[in-house]
Structure 1
Amino acid sequence: MLEIPVIITERLRLTALADKHFETYAAMLADEGTTRFVGDGQPLDRMNAWRSMAMLLGHWMLRGYGMWALELKETGEFVGRAGLHNPEGWPDLEIGWMLRPEFRHQGLATEAARAVLAYAFQRLGAERVISLIRIENSASERVARRLGGRQSTTIDFLGSATLVYTYHRPDEHG
């Protein structure tokens, strides 16, 4: 079985997506407000939520990195996902995050994404990582800026105007 590393932050455990997460994961992806800025913007039914989870887990096998389940460290409750993504047709290695509505606006996306960026730069040796953010998604733009991302361009991606935020490997002095 594939070993997906566990990352611990101040409040979170980044761990492999698992069957135990599926009910809450499916509910998260069925929420219109959560999926509004992802893919085609439509919520997913249970079958497609399962396919989403399977694709994210398969990413680890095919690329050696992927998305983690985000659990509250104290309780183990599933609160969302964050990680790295670069499927066929993507413009570059992307960092992404998604939280259940009741866990937004608490700094959890930023906390998880900081750990993911450190993993990308330190463990994978990535020189650059991007975030693809729909123009209307101001919350994700704020997270990207807190992470030190800079908007590098705007592209038409999957039929929507999409901002490309870029993060570069910190130099050894900073």
Structure 2
Amino acid sequence: MLRLPEPGDFDAWADFCADADQMRFLGGAMPRSVAWRDMAMRAGAWASHGFSMFSVIERATGAWVGRIGPWQPEGWPGTEVGWGVARAFAGRGYAYEAAAAAMDYAVDVLGWRQVIHTIDPDNAASIRLAERLGSTNRGPVSLPPPLAHFRVDAWGQSADQWRARRVAAK
């Protein structure tokens, strides 16, 4: 289930942000105080811009799975659907299911014509997910400060390509 971040998500969000392995390609592990600002920033983007990362919630348990969704802060190289899933839920299909729903949201609700995923070339798991979503590597892009030193490629596709993929899957 995708929904806006809520205060009750914070403990799981902070645990995710503290996990150095899970955060390796997402800016690095964060102390709890920085994780709070990260969650508040994403929740604030909903209020100020009408979109941001969703909290992904496991229906059966109500557990916080991760954060996935549309993302385009100032200076970002494009309209992105990004993802991050807590270790306990990795490899269980949640990232694909939520990213596909977020792609639908970005294309159908937000009207985005292009969707990218900024991915470190060493992040094999995210590259596999991008490929499974039908995205292709469009080459290196630069992130704005303070992330400008990160090496990332823009994986992406057009809204028309995404829509055609949905039709073909039915």
- Alignment match of 1:152 (pick from 138, 146, 156): 138
Unaligned runs of at least 5 residues, structure 2: none
- Alignment match of 1:79 (pick from 54, 57, 65): 65
Give the aligned CA root-mean-square deviation in angstroms. 1.4
C-alpha change, 1:156 and 1:65, in structure 2 (3 Å) is closer
Aligned twin of 2:22: 34
Q: Which amino acid aligns with 1:125?
A: G
Q: What percent identity do the matched residue pairs reach?
A: 34
Runs of 4+ in 1 over 6 A off after TM superposition: none
Is 1:49 matched up with 2:35? yes
Q: Which amino acid aligns with 2:113?
A: E
Does the Cα contact within 8 Å between 2:77 and 2:142 map onto a contact in 1?
A: no
Q: Whole-Å Cα distance in 2 between the matches of residues 108 and 18 of structure 1?
A: 19
Is 1:118 matched up with 2:108? no
Is 1:17 matched up with 2:5? yes
* Number of corresponding residues: 160
- Alignment match of 1:135 (pick from 106, 121, 127): 121
Unaligned runs of at least 5 residues, structure 1: 1-12
Aligned twin of 1:10: none
| TM value normalised by structure 2 | 0.89
Q: Whole-Å Cα distance in 2 between the matches of residues 56 and 92 of structure 1?
A: 17
Aligned twin of 1:97: 83
